Amino acid sequence: MDINLINSTDAVGRFCRLHMYAKRDIPIRPSEMGVLIFAQKQNVPVTPLMIAHFFKIAKPSVTSMVNALVRQEYLAKEPSVTDKRSYTLKITEKGEELVQATFMEYFKSIEFLKEKMGEDKFQQFIELIQLANGILEEEK
């Protein structure tokens, strides 16, 4: 087996673990925080399907996160007037406060990378990640 490929896989895996498991003083999981930030940034009512498409995850995973966020009162479900089975999501005041209070904490590791790499290398890094994401999305 190609030793460079093995080392590359290890490096990518380590980077992902370091970023995902960085100590963040937030009361919810990072994936749930991502959903809250997504809901806050939208100019249209958010549906679970929109979340599933954006994060490229299965709808049952979205349902689990949404239910946890609703239970903790960070999101509210608003029933559809036309279809009683469907609903949209709205970030609550408590959710807004959490996003505002933890926004910089949540992105601290990326900000740290930008600072240490410098603007040019950081931009190149992001462009390469976006290229890799696009290639991997094509494979799916």
For the residues of 12-65, what is the DSSP string, one character each?
Answer: HHHHHHHHHTS----SS-HHHHHHHHHHHH-SS-B-HHHHHHHHT--HHHHHHH
Domain membership of residue 64 (yes or no) is yes
Taking residue 94's Cβ as centre, other Cβ atoms within 10 Å add up to 13
What does the pLDDT look like over 10-21, one tens digit per residue? 988 888 878 766
Is beta strand 75-79 parallel, antiparallel or unpaired with respect to 87-91? antiparallel
Rounded to whole angstroms, the Cα distance separating 108 from 5 reads 29
Per-residue pLDDT, averaged over 50-62, amounts to 95
Are 69 and 97 within one domain?
A: yes
What does the pLDDT look like over 121-137, one tens digit per residue? 999 999 999 999 899 88
pTM across the whole model: 0.71
Domain membership of residue 70 (yes or no) is yes
Query: Which of 21, 75, 24 shows the shortest CA–CA distance to 46?
Result: 75
- In the numeric block, the tokens 């696009």 are attached to 134
Are 38 and 86 within one domain?
A: yes
Domain membership of residue 66 (yes or no) is yes
Per-residue pLDDT, averaged over 29-36, amounts to 91
The CATH number assigned to the domain holding 65 equals 1.10.10.10
Are 97 and 35 within one domain?
A: yes
Are 66 and 124 within one domain?
A: no
Count of structural domains within the chain: 2
Domain membership of residue 7 (yes or no) is no
Residue 140 has pLDDT above 70, yes or no: no
What does the pLDDT look like over 81-109, one tens digit per residue? 888 789 999 999 999 999 998 877 777 88
Angle at Cα 52 formed by Cα 110 and Cα 134, nearest 5°? 55
Contact present, 33 and 113 (Cβ < 8 Å)? no
- Structural domain that includes position 120: 107-140
Are 61 and 83 within one domain?
A: yes
